[in-house]
Amino acid sequence: MNESKSKIDFEVDFEEFKTSKRNNFKERVWFIKYWANFINSNSDEKWSKGQAVLIDSQIQNSRNFYRNLLKTEKGKKKFNSLIKNLVRK
């Protein structure tokens, strides 16, 4: 039996990659400065409410992920494997 393996050829534009990385870094720096300014110019009560919404939504997304994971047999096996590894540590 002759098996042929498919080969994926692609080229990487390193200049585009560097530009993208530089832009991503600039956006991160901008956001850090924006957030520091927001915190310094607003009350703890105001900015912490937004943080609470973000944190609560992350917790809810995590719960939904595991709830959906447990709906499949493969998901149940993966979940049990994760739990066993956590218990061992």
The residues near 70 (Cβ < 8 Å, ≥ 6 apart) are: 76, 79
pLDDT in tens, 63-73: 999 999 999 99
In our burial notation (b when 16+ CB lie closer than 10 A, e otherwise), range 12-36 reads: eeeeeeeeeeeeeeeeeeeeeeeee
Which pLDDT does position 7 carry in this prediction? 74
Q: How confident is the model at residue 5 (pLDDT cuts 50, 70, 90)?
A: low
pTM of the model: 0.50
Alpha carbons 17 and 15: distance in angstroms, whole number: 5
- Residue 87's pLDDT is 82
pLDDT-derived band at 1 (thresholds 50, 70, 90) equals very low
User: Cα dist. 71→12, 16, 75 in Å?
Assistant: 39, 41, 7
